[in-house]
């Protein structure tokens, strides 16, 4: 949890009440079924009476909903998420290549193609393409989020960050743990390949795409139960993925 300033406005111009409101919202993003005010107080380190006041304001703005003492994210949050994705035009740039990967490259394979973007220390799914051959237990939902240092798409994005940005995103301890993996991913040209991270036998291959900056805006990841023969940077799937990300990056740079 980010450190909260000790006064109402700290030396960097941050406002304590806004910091605290975002701390509460961030905890709720990791708790889809909701949490009580007491649970939020314990997780954020904010006094329960203050949490109650924050929740009351957030409910007024539709950022939080309440039901029988349990609080969850509200519908207003969708406007902010949709606005961010639309502004970057990421889905529009990536979607044609994701469809092409699924229809022309992964023919006959029970695979899922997904598009993800980073949000601080998480990676969030913003689109996914699958076929009737894709097992239901492999299909992830739009809006699903994962720790950025624990999944293929997140690691591929992190590999484009500077050391300073990685530490600011993860903290020193998490960065030290993942640093050897990031070195290997960079040596592989940004490809991150994993097997069995979330489901037994599930293989994933991810590659980042960029815009104006050298830091990735997101990643395309292909996952499936029969992809282990594709987990090589020289495989046909990897080469198609590489071309897709190059084209997406060019579109985002000049869009």
Indicate if 135 and 41 belong to the same structural domain: no
Please report where in the chains the tokens 């960050």 appear, as a residue. Answer: 161
The reported pLDDT for the residue numbered 80 is 86
* 1 in any annotated domain: no
Do 141 and 206 have their domain in common?
yes
Shared domain check, 97 and 184: yes
Question: Could you tell me the pLDDT band of residue 161, with boundaries at 50, 70 and 90?
Answer: very high
The residue among 29 and 13 whose pLDDT is bigger is 29
Q: Between 76-88 and 90-100, two packed helices, what is the crossing angle to 10 degrees?
A: 70
**pLDDT at site 8:** 43
Residue 86 pLDDT greater than 80, yes or no:
no
Same domain, 115 and 203: yes
Q: How confident is the model at residue 73 (pLDDT cuts 50, 70, 90)?
A: very high
Place of tokens 């939080």: 64
| CB-count burial class (<10 Å; 0-12, 13-18, 19+) for 230 | buried
60: Cβ–Cβ under 8 A, 6 or more apart, which residues? none
Residues 122 and 229 in one domain: yes
Q: What integer pLDDT is reported at residue 12 of this predicted model?
A: 65
- Structural domains counted in the chain: 2
When the pLDDT of each residue in the chain is averaged and rounded to a whole number, the result is: 89
Q: Which residues, at least 6 apart from 131, have a Cβ–Cβ distance to it below 8 Å?
A: 102, 106, 110
Classify residue 182: in a domain, yes or no.
yes
Whether residues 66 and 125 share a domain: the answer is no
Confidence band of 3 (pLDDT split at 50, 70, 90): very low
CATH code at position 211: 3.30.450.40
Give the domain extent around 36: 16-74
Of all helices (H) and strands (E), which one includes residue 186?
A: helix 172-187
Is the residue at 176 inside a domain?
A: yes
| 228 shares a domain with 111 | yes
% of the chain with per-residue pLDDT over 70: 94
Same domain, 204 and 248: yes
């Amino acid at each position: 949890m980010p450190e909260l300033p000790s006064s109402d406005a700290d030396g960097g111009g941050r406002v304590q009440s806004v910091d605290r409101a975002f701390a509460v919202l961030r905890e709720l993003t990791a708790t889809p079924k909701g949490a009580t005010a007491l649970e939020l107080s314990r997780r954020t380190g904010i006094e329960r009476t203050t949490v109650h006041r924050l929740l009351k304001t957030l409910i007024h703005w539709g950022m939080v909903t309440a039901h029988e003492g349990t609080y969850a994210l509200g519908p207003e949050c969708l406007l902010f998420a949709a606005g961010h994705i639309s502004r970057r035009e990421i889905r529009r740039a990536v979607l044609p290549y994701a469809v092409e990967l699924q229809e022309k490259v992964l023919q006959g394979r029970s695979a899922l193609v997904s598009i993800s973007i980073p949000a601080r220390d998480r990676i969030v799914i913003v689109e996914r393409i699958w076929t009737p051959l894709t097992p239901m237990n492999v299909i992830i939902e739009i809006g699903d989020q994962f720790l950025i240092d624990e999944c293929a798409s997140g690691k591929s994005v992190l590999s484009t960050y500077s050391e300073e940005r990685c530490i600011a995103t993860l903290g020193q301890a998490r960065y030290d743990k993942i640093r050897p993996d990031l070195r290997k991913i960079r040596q592989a040209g940004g490809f991150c390949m994993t097997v069995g991270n979330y489901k037994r036998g599930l293989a994933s291959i991810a590659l980042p795409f960029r815009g104006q900056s050298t830091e990735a805006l997101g990643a395309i990841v292909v996952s499936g139960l029969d992809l282990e023969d594709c987990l090589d940077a020289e495989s046909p799937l990897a080469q198609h993925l590489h071309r897709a990300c190059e084209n997406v990056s060019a579109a985002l740079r000049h869009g």
